[in-house]
Amino acid sequence: MITRNKELPPAQREELLRILKVRFEKNMHRHKGLDWAEVQAKIESNTIKMWSLNEMERTGGEPDVVGHDKKTDEYIFYDCSAESPKGRRSVCYDREAMDSRKKHKPENNAVDMAADMGIELLTEEQYRDLQKVEKFDMKTSSWVQTPADIRKLGGAIFCDFRYDTVFVYHNGAESYYAARGFRGLLRV
C-alpha cells in the first residue's frame, strides 16, 4: 500500500468541488431529488473522503452521486466515466494474481489500487444497478468483486455492457488487458 498525505491543499479542494458540482448539475438523472449543497457539506466535512474522491477523479473515474443511503445518511459516489477509468486499466485482479505472474507483471492490481484509494470495487449487483442509471463500458470492461469460491480456484470476474445487456465473464485473475480496469464506489 502506498502511503500518501491524504489531505488536499485548499486550491485542489476547490477545484475538485467545482468539477464535482458541474458534473452533478449536468447529470441530474443520476441523482434525482438530491441537493448539491448537502452533498458538498458532507464532502467538506471529511478530508479523507475528499482525498478519495480526488483519487477517483485523478485516475479518470469521473465520480458522481448515484444515490443516498437514508439509514446512514451517506451519499454514494460511483465512477461514472463512459469507459473503465483510464488510469486504472492494465491491472490484474489482486496481489496474489500479480505475484503469480512469472513474466510481464502489470504495475498494479485492482484490489490494492482500490484499497489505496480508499474506495471499494463494485459488486456485480452494483455494476448492474449502475447500468440502469446510464450505459457504461460499451468498449471496455471492469473487474468486479469476485466471490471467494471463484477466486480460490484462480479466477476473477469482470463485466461490460454490449448488445443492451450486462455481461459477466471470467478470466484468470492474473490476466490484464489495456481495455480492462475497475470501477469503484465511495460512501460519503
Q: Work out the average pLDDT over 32-56.
A: 96
Positive or negative, the Cα torsion across 45, 39, 181, 15? negative
Contacts of 123-126 with CB under 8 Å at 24 or more apart are 124/157, 124/159, 124/168, 126/78, 126/185
**pTM, 2 dp:** 0.92
Per-residue pLDDT at 2: 46
Q: Work out the average pLDDT over 122-131.
A: 97
The pLDDT tens digits for 61-116 are 999 999 999 999 999 999 999 999 999 999 999 999 999 888 898 889 999 999 99
Q: Work out the average pLDDT over 110-137.
A: 97
Per-residue pLDDT at 3: 46
Task: Work out the percent of the chain whose per-residue pLDDT is above 70.
Answer: 98
Lowest mean pLDDT among 58-62, 128-132, 173-177: 173-177
CA distance 135 to 146: 22
Task: Work out the percent of the chain whose per-residue pLDDT is above 90.
Answer: 88
Q: Work out the average pLDDT over 7-21.
A: 94
The pLDDT tens digits for 170-182 are 999 999 999 999 9
- By DSSP bridging, strand 155-162 and strand 141-143 are antiparallel
Contact criterion met (CB below 8 Å) for 182 and 84: yes
Query: To the nearest 10°, the Cα dihedral for 157, 162, 163, 169?
Result: -10
Per-residue pLDDT at 102: 85
